[in-house]
Amino acid sequence: MPELPEVETTVRGLATVLAGERLTRVMVRRPDLRRPFPPDLVQALTGARVVALGRRAKYGLIQTDRGRTMVFHLGMSGRWRIDPGEIGKHDHLVLETARGRVLALNDARRFGSVDLVDTAALDAFGPFAALGPEPLGPGLTVAHLAQAFDGRVAAVKLVLLDQGVVAGLGNIYVCEALHRARIHPERAAGAVSRAALSRLVLEIRAVLEEAIEAGGSTLRDYARPDGELGYFAKEWRVYGREGKPCGCGGTVRRIVQGGRSTFFCPRCQK
């Protein structure tokens, strides 16, 4: 599933084509993805000007001058295609701009979603209402994590995946950040020291920023809107590297936590 860096990369790619542009044609080519398309999507977007693009957690935001924002989630395999040579059977939503640019939301598995929300009410939108701070924003601090972790006996890896603690963190980047911060993924969250929390905040930001710069980590069908593949997977230090050497001289292990694979080095992560 595309994670935060992949969504951020997607939004930045869309901004190069959509920012400030008027949408002259909107085509919904099937009734639903994971859930039905908004019934007024075509009417609300046709003729609207895109005034801003953004991201909240793993959702992309396309804001218009009509006070409505299209919120999209890429699901398992969704991606936007810019100026495709032809519209394919998995291009379920197509936008055309006044400059003749075409953007197609492609989702073969149809686990993605599209919603239309009043811009002024975005914070109250169901999936956003209980989200924690953005990991790249000012709200992610040592004090915030200390308060969120206080008294928690659950494993720190699982607590970090709680979207109410930090918005948008996914499995790959939690594994990588914990490794860089030298924190064992099974350690009780409440037992993580302030010094380790300081390292963790820095490494969460660093790994996400590096992944965004690299265009994300290509997983199965993910690609950037321009069709290029992200290459941050080449920089993974532990994720997907079970049995391979860690930079410290240890060997990467894999365990299962909460039904998900966790990769870590038992030598340098304590």
Active site residues: 2-3, 58, 260
Tokens representing 46? 């046709």
CA 17 to chain centre: 20
94-122: string of b/e by CB count within 10 Å (b at 16+)?
A: bbbbeeeebbbbbbbebebbbbbbeeeeb
Q: Which candidate, 7, 79, 68, places its Cα nearest to that of 42?
A: 68
Instruction: Write the DSSP assignment of 12-59 as a string of letters.
Output: HHHHHHHTTPBEEEEEE-SSBSSSBPPTTHHHHHTTPBEEEEEEETTE
What gap in Å lies between CA 159 and CA 151, rounded to an integer?
12
What gap in Å lies between CA 7 and CA 93, rounded to an integer?
17
**Could you tell me where the beta strands, DSSP code E, fall in 129-228?**
none
What gap in Å lies between CA 186 and CA 178, rounded to an integer?
10
What gap in Å lies between CA 144 and CA 132, rounded to an integer?
10
